[in-house]
Amino acid sequence: MSDIESSDIFKFFHPKSVAVVGASSTEGKIGYAIMNNLLNTGDYKGTIYPVNPRYQEVMGVKAYPSISELPEPPEMAILVVPGKYIPDVVEECGRSGCQNVVIITAGFSETGSEGKALERETLANAHRYGVRMIGPNCLGVFCTEEGLNASFAHTAPKAGPIGFISQSGAICTSVIEYAVQENIGFSDFVSIGNKADVDDADLIRYFGQDDRTRCVCIYMESVPDGRKFYEAAKEASETTPVVVLKVGRTEEGAKAASSHTGALAGADSAYTAAFNQSGVYRADSMSDLFDASRALAYQPLPKGENLVIYSNAGGPGVISSDAASRLGLKLAELSEETIGKLSEICPPTWSHGNPVDIIGDADVERYDKGLHIVLDAPEVDAVVCLLAPVSIADPLEVAKGIVEAAKTTDKPIIASFVGIIAEESENYLERHGIPAIEFPERAITAMHALMMRRRYLQGGDA
């Protein structure tokens, strides 16, 4: 089928009406959870049509026996009926003028030859009527702008600048949990399951043109069409950074991916080369995926390569230096002038170099003053701010100082209040757009993503 236009993908996230085929009044059923989410977890204003021949109404909303009996073709249908009915329901959607379907149902190409045949039949019916489909074997879709939660997840993501795509529904629910706690927000969020029709490339193109999305973040097990992916990623990368966690890198991992979503993982080195050339930042782990994505979505790009590691403690500074060196990041050489200014506010035992260790007895005032000195220094392009908790420097006050300092500069800042998780200081930073990451080496990875993006835009590989 032809490439899907971004204006058609838009309708998956901004439908004026949604039908739920297999809507249920029985608590514990997926058709119940989806109805409940649509009605009660966002503030979706469109029309909702439960479809199930057994009911007159579902959760107080008038129900219809079939798609073809709705008063209008819905802009999107969520299908949650057993697999054997799916090809016919898709055909009925097509005949009735419903062009976008999301198939939650599992048991397709991920299960073997019968499932593959069922997926082919479903796709053929979709193609015959120009229906586009997300899934099968997926969790659903979210659009934070519309308050749309067309999924069976038990929590909805917060609004923000990241467009998220996942081949695994379980990763979606885990990511929502994590992101809610870490104050990471999303524009649209999509579980694409077996991606029999709409795939990462279609969604990357869409996100690349979407004003609300400042970074595309992808969990991926396979790419159905390498060339299409490469071209879409390259095009989107001109405006919007793309971060990918591509798993199934080892033989064992590839086998696991195959039985999960029917994915054929492909040669890993070919992926790395394609990612580099198309500007994609390749994450090695879930923490990398989110550390990189939040940096790219929330922080400006550095204007040069010179990084300062700013710290009230030696150990975290050493960890960060090691990590920076491993990743090929350059530590700024401080000028005599900057060293002089820091010497005026620090005891003689401060590090006199980079990492800038202002020593463990630093109070909030010293931390603040020193941070302004390094941010103002012309030889510095980016700062990783470390804080080891000590009684003299209240972390929340330090966080407030960092947020104020960030307002005075266009240089990127990544913070790591080492060991502090989900406390007010960390939340304060995150709510104000400063990524706060609990371990220093991860803060360096986040900074690495910004540096690599800068290099890519300057004409190198990612």
**Single residue of 15, 24, 144, 306 touching ligand COA by CB under 6 A:** 24
Per-residue binder mask for ligand COA (CB under 6 A), 306-325, x = binder = --------------------
# residues contacting ligand COA (CB under 6 A): 26
Q: Is the dihedral of CA 193, 194, 198, 200 positive or negative?
A: positive
* Closest distance to ligand COA from the beta carbon of 10 (Å): 23
What's the closest the beta carbon of residue 349 comes to ligand COA, in angstroms? 55
Q: Pick the binder of ligand COA from 29, 120, 400, 432 (CB under 6 A).
A: 29
Q: Give the residue with the Cβ less far from ligand COA, 135 or 435.
A: 135
- Per-residue mark of binding to ligand COA, 131-170 (x: CB under 6 A): ------xxx-----------------------------x-
From the CB of 435, what's the least distance to ligand COA, in Å? 28
In the complex, minimum distance from the CB of residue 206 to ligand COA, in angstroms, rounded to a whole number: 21
Residue 78 or 143: which CB sits closer to ligand COA?
78
Closest CA to 414 of 331, 280, 322, 302: 302
105 binds ligand COA (CB under 6 A): yes
87 binds ligand COA (CB under 6 A): no
Check residue 30 for interaction with ligand COA (CB under 6 A).
Answer: yes
Q: Which residues contact 60 (CB under 8 A, 6 or more apart)?
A: none
Distance CA 280, CA 446 (A): 14
Among residues 2, 7, 26, 113, which is the contact residue for ligand COA, using CB under 6 A? 26
Task: Residue 327: name the closest of 277, 357, 288, 356 by CA.
Answer: 288
User: For residue 329, what are its two tokens?
Assistant: 């990041």
Which stretch in 99-107, 119-127, 244-252, 269-277 sits in contact with ligand COA by CB under 6 A? Answer: 99-107
What is the rounded CA–CA span in Å between residue 288 and residue 274?
19
Radius of gyration in angstroms for the set of CA atoms belonging to the chain, rounded to a whole number: 25
> b/e per residue, 181-212, with b = 16+ CB within 10 A?
ebbbbbbbbbbbbbbbbbbbbbbbbbbbbbeb
| Among 4, 18, 22, 350, contact with ligand COA (rule: CB under 6 A) | 22
Length, in residues, of the chain: 462
3-state secondary structure of 230: helix
User: Which of 15, 31, 395, 401 is in the footprint of ligand COA by CB under 6 A?
Assistant: 31
Contact letters (x/-) for ligand COA, 367-386, by CB under 6 A?
A: --------------------
**CA gap 377, 356 in Å, rounded:** 13
DSSP state of 193: T
**x/- site string to ligand COA, residues 32 to 71, per CB under 6 A?**
-------------------xxxx-----------------
Question: How many other CB atoms are there within 10 angstroms of residue 354's CB atom?
Answer: 23
Contact range with ligand COA by CB under 6 A, out of 83-91, 141-149, 394-402, 419-427: 83-91
Q: Burial level of 40, CB count in 10 A (0-12/13-18/19+)?
A: exposed
Q: How far apart are CA 97 and CA 108, in angstroms?
A: 25
**Smallest gap, in angstroms, from Cβ of residue 171 to ligand COA?**
9
* Binding-site member from 11, 42, 61, 85 for ligand COA (CB under 6 A): 85
Q: How far is the CB of 224 from ligand COA (least distance, A)?
A: 18
Stretches 19-27, 255-263, 396-404, 447-455: which one binds ligand COA (CB under 6 A)? 19-27
* Nearest residue (CB) to ligand COA, 179 versus 447: 179
Which residue in 60, 14, 79 sits closest to 6, CA to CA? 14
Compute CA distances 380 → 300, 303, 338, 383, whole Å.
14, 9, 10, 8
Residue 79 or 393 having the CB closest to ligand COA: 79
Q: Say how far apart CA 181 and CA 371 lie, in whole Å.
A: 27
Contact residues toward ligand COA (CB under 6 A) are 21-22, 24-26, 29-31, 51-54, 80-83, 85, 89, 104-107, 137-139, 169
